[in-house]
């Protein structure tokens, strides 16, 4: 992070006091995060919203207790080669192993990060980590895109795709596009740049980036992403072609085996997507399962009078998926189907598994 940005954050830290976020003490609910893409905004309007929201306290702030193990090293030093995983001592390990798997403690984790930032105003290493982690936490845990953008914009380049996603979800498409164009090629592990272009409706750019990525050693990931975005746009023949290309890749990245398994499963699910007609699904409760990152993701869908009444993830072993198990089912109910449902940025595998499992569940209830 640039020194100027860090210096600016030191100023913010001085506002933080004893661990409260900037603006704590304002009226509860004064800066609730807006609904995703609730309005079309210019970059200036989005920036004003982000700044005002980021400097205020979340409405839940006073109801969450600041607590953490006494053994936790709040100076958050960089790890050394050979260090063991110590969740009761290392903040990063504590967040991953203790906070992230427990949704009821997510806000507790956010409050801890604000506290770490507050007490480390003379520790740039801890500040850098806390700032980036706050951006990720507000995005992944809360789906609070204004606050996420506030912190991600002050963090390092690794958060740029999420920052672009925040602007998009806040209705500032031009700002999101500007960030993505500056990023250029997709070098992300889960092809998140390609997927965000697709979510924004630009399939042409998404596929162009996928074709370029396919020329690298990440061809498996590129073709898988291309198949997913084509399927998302209802182009099933093209999706099948890309999935088959992913399966046929001989050498790829470190995730090639998993990506090819996902591509093969997607070939089968495309057939389900083609035939799916909600009007032909009988009233009832249906279950479906699809492969996630850590294992099967199971979904239960309730259909009544030709409408999806509810969609619930009933079982999974995912440990880094955060909001996907609630956000994706909410999209499915809102859109009344699995078409045009977007994967949650940073939880692509889990999101796709939920979509596929839901499609299978609905297919099971389809009348002959």
Q: How confident is the model at residue 18 (pLDDT cuts 50, 70, 90)?
A: very low
Q: Is the pLDDT of residue 66 over 60?
A: yes
- Beta partners for 312? 300
Specify the higher pLDDT residue, 118 or 320: 118
Q: Rounded to an integer, what distance in angstroms lies between the CA atom of residue 16 and that of residue 29?
A: 19
**For residue 22, what pLDDT is reported?**
47
CATH number of the 277-364 domain: 3.90.1010.20
72 three-class SS: coil
Q: Give yes or no for a contact between 329 and 313, defined as CB atoms under 8 angstroms apart.
A: yes
Q: Give yes or no for a contact between 54 and 147, defined as CB atoms under 8 angstroms apart.
A: yes
**For residue 38, what pLDDT is reported?**
52
What percentage of the chain reaches a pLDDT higher than 70?
A: 87
Which segment, 172-181, 228-237, 322-331, is predicted with the most confidence on average?
A: 172-181
CATH 3.20.20.70 holds for 186-272: no
DSSP state of 70: T
Mean pLDDT of the chain: 87
Residue ranges of the domains in the chain? Answer: 3-174, 186-272, 277-364
Which segment, 157-161, 178-182, 232-236, is predicted with the most confidence on average?
A: 178-182
Q: Is the pLDDT of residue 21 over 60?
A: no
pTM given for the model: 0.82
Q: Is the pLDDT of residue 329 over 70?
A: yes
DSSP string covering 79-109, please?
P-TT----TTT-HHHHIIIIITT-GGGHHHH
């Amino acid at each position: 992070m640039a020194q100027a940005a860090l210096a600016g954050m030191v100023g913010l830290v001085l506002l933080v006091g004893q661990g409260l976020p900037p603006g704590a003490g304002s009226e509860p609910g004064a800066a609730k995060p807006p609904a995703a893409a609730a309005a079309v905004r210019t970059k200036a309007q989005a920036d004003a919203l982000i700044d005002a929201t980021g400097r205020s306290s979340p409405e839940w702030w006073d109801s969450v207790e600041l607590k953490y193990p006494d053994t936790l090293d709040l100076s958050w030093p960089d790890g050394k080669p050979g260090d063991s995983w110590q969740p009761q001592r290392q903040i990063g390990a504590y967040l991953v192993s203790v906070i992230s798997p427990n949704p009821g403690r997510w806000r507790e984790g956010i409050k801890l990060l604000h506290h770490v930032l507050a007490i480390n105003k003379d520790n740039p290493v801890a500040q850098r980590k806390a700032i980036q982690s706050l951006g990720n936490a507000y995005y992944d845990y809360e789906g609070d895109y204004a606050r996420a953008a506030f912190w991600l914009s002050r963090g390092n380049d690794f958060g740029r795709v999420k920052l672009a996603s925040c602007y998009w979800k806040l209705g500032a498409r031009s700002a999101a596009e500007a960030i993505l164009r500056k990023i250029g090629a997709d070098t992300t592990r889960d092809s998140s740049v390609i997927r965000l272009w697709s979510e924004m409706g630009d399939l042409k750019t998404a596929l162009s980036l996928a074709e370029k990525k396919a020329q690298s050693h990440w061809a498996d990931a590129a073709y898988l992403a291309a198949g997913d975005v084509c399927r998302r746009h209802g182009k099933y023949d093209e999706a099948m072609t890309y999935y088959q290309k992913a399966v046929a890749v001989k050498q790829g990245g470190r995730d090639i085996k998993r990506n090819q398994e996902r591509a093969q499963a997607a070939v089968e699910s495309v057939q389900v997507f083609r035939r799916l007609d909600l009007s032909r699904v009988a009233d009832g409760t249906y279950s479906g399962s699809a492969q996630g990152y850590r294992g099967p993701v199971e979904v239960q869908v309730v259909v009544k009078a030709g409408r999806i009444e509810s969609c619930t993830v009933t079982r999974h072993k995912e440990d880094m998926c955060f909001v996907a198990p609630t956000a994706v089912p909410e999209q499915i109910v809102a859109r009344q189907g699995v078409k045009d449902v977007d994967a949650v940025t940073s939880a692509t595998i889990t999101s796709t598994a939920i979509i596929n499992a839901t499609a299978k569940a609905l297919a099971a209830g389809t009348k002959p």
